[in-house]
Structure 1
């Protein structure tokens, strides 16, 4: 079935063509958990913080993970016309304040507004490739600048609805199942916006006519430049074995799209605090993500992860400072990261290639 002026049969030269994304070594998570269990403390240990320590062990390739030395933030923003748009404006002042508190510099990537997904695809082939290149360049710039972890945030009117569309398409889930009620200031429910967004998603899926279930189709038809750039950030960072911290539906949908480029890509993602949204829950379930350590903050995309970063760093500091028996601390263990890992049972995607197109 055709995709309007985007067609997966076109000759696409992705910046990730033939790129190999390594899996972080899950054995280090097990070793870190075992080491924590042997800490000589009077209580039962770190409780829920242990999941964050185990995740850090996995991506750092050691059973003795340490706080990240430099975490950079990449904020991708843009707007959608048509039925996707929400009624609540985005306030970046809270983001900036939380980033300052966490000591995380933010780089903002602005995108051009898109059309209405219910009327036409949001990206042409050239625009899709340009978005992937922008995301790759942003991740590379952060890592080249010294970042050993990246916070990824997606913002803008309509971006949440776009995330629902991408996640629904990639997971074969009816969009309405991923569309919670829309909350607005004052504790009110905006049913009109919810109905408009769900109708726009319905019409967008009907217009696209059932395109192949892959990242190129999902991002071009329903996601737009914000989510395409975000997915590219995840893939580019994973190629360079750099973890990505996320929280809300935009980054969660990007992680699902990144999985189509390589099954290993979302394994480098972690939501230390998760926005309570069905897209986030779907992503965490399908990618086997480690349990969160935050309270479930829901005051806007990016706020939960920025608020949770200090807790993550404190957990790693505390784990390193706990007393351990000498035979545990002195034991030599090989470091390293394996190149491949069996697919999780939750992953039900068909085989994929490195260019984001399913076979």
Structure 2
């Protein structure tokens, strides 16, 4: 198998159709509801029309929540409120329908797919269709060792690409992307700090389950140590993902890039998907045009990454639970935008008024 070069995606990924977007904007001007009255729904509809390459935009009929799962070795450094190696419990909650993302997805008619990229548990604890993709069990502790080997990073990227192809081939017309991990926000913050050239304290947040001050300081220290290991390999995205990423992070990066190749729009969730987007942007600068930021999670690393990618969150409701929940909350707005853009009537054409010519004066007979 040839070694994966992410720079090749720069030639494979095109922007959504700008001509179609202009057509969508012109059609919007003709609708009965005044321009601007629907606020950001107009922008969402035009983005979706450009992604679909058609006007009027098609309704979203087959949305899909895709969650990549893994355990990160850095959790053993006491940087998370969750116990290291417990990500499989998050997966079980989703599969059993007890998590926020499961409940909302059922209400919104979105299927949920969980992909085990690197959980640290016995495969028998979860269904075969979840664990069969696993690249490795857990990952290295990024403050003192590589998360993955180069070969494992390559395999994880290809896993994400394969999942993107499967979703596109099955007819998925919008992906809601999320992660199920323990230690994932520490890894994500490291990647954001490395790619944006900032200090650990600027990007370190409190995580999905808020941590206390002492844990936050440990998290900052771990990120600073990981940054020293990340900086020498900044010019090589695969090496960066191997050094301070993880199997789920690499898989999400490959997934985002291949979704852009396949012209599949994606709604990003929190800091993990944002960090992966930042890595993908380094490989293909047009890729972020295919993504929406579903929500502002409150994580400073996410805000930094979204700013770098020029993505403006659709929602800001203070949702920190992760697992794709915030991104999923944006789905009804995108669906509403598509429905209104497709079904609102155009203004009736105004009939030109007949010019009134004064009658000629009657001639008087002499």
What TM-score, normalized to structure 2? 0.78
What are the within-5 Å matches in structure 2 for residues 55-70 of structure 1?
Answer: 55-70=47-62
CA distance in 1, matches of 2:264, 2:25: 21
CA distance in 1, matches of 2:35, 2:280: 40
Partner of 1:108: 114
1:71 aligns with 2:96: no
Partner of 1:317: 339
- State the SS of the aligned residue for 2:233: coil
Partner of 1:48: 40
Of 116, 128, 143, which residue of structure 1 is paired with 2:153? 128
CA distance in 1, matches of 2:113, 2:82: 23
CA distance in 1, matches of 2:259, 2:17: 16
Superposed CA offset, 1:211-232 (max 9, x none): 2344223311111111100000
CA distance in 1, matches of 2:278, 2:157: 15
The CA deviation at 1:257 is 1.0
Aligned 8 A contact 1:36 1:45 in 2: no
What are the within-5 Å matches in structure 2 for residues 236-315 of structure 1?
Answer: 236-290=258-312, 292-293=314-315, 295-315=317-337
CA distance in 2, matches of 1:17, 1:44: 39
- State the SS of the aligned residue for 1:155: strand
Give the unaligned 5+ runs of structure 1: 1-10, 328-359
- State the SS of the aligned residue for 2:248: helix
Superposed CA offset, 1:106-150 (max 9, x none): 221111211210111111111011101111111111111111222
Of 3, 28, 37, which residue of structure 2 is paired with 1:13? 3
In proportion to residue count, which structure has more helix? 2
Aligned 8 A contact 2:65 2:324 in 1: no
TM-align CA RMSD: 2.6
Partner of 2:27: 35
Q: Which segment is superposed worse, 25-34 or 50-59?
A: 25-34
Aligned 8 A contact 1:182 1:193 in 2: no
Larger-Rg structure: 2
Q: Which segment is superposed worse, 231-240 or 142-151?
A: 142-151
- State the SS of the aligned residue for 1:121: coil
| Alpha-carbon distance change, 52 to 72 in structure 1, aligned in 2, over 3 angstroms | same
Aligned 8 A contact 1:74 1:138 in 2: no
Aligned residues: 315
- State the SS of the aligned residue for 1:323: coil
Superposed CA offset, 1:319-341 (max 9, x none): 222221367xxxxxxxxxxxxxx
1:144 aligns with 2:169: yes
Aligned 8 A contact 1:175 1:198 in 2: yes
Q: Which segment is superposed worse, 93-102 or 34-43?
A: 34-43
Q: Which segment is superposed worse, 212-221 or 118-127?
A: 212-221
Q: Which segment is superposed worse, 154-163 or 296-305?
A: 296-305
Give the unaligned 5+ runs of structure 2: 84-89, 119-136, 350-366
Aligned 8 A contact 1:72 1:151 in 2: yes
Aligned 8 A contact 1:51 1:290 in 2: no
Superposed CA offset, 1:192-237 (max 9, x none): 2211111111111224463234422331111111110000001111
Superposed CA offset, 1:150-196 (max 9, x none): 221122110011111111112222222111245747xxx51122111
CA distance in 2, matches of 1:116, 1:42: 55
Partner of 2:102: 96
CA distance in 1, matches of 2:325, 2:109: 14
CA distance in 1, matches of 2:259, 2:176: 11
CA distance in 1, matches of 2:152, 2:256: 18
CA distance in 2, matches of 1:119, 1:178: 20
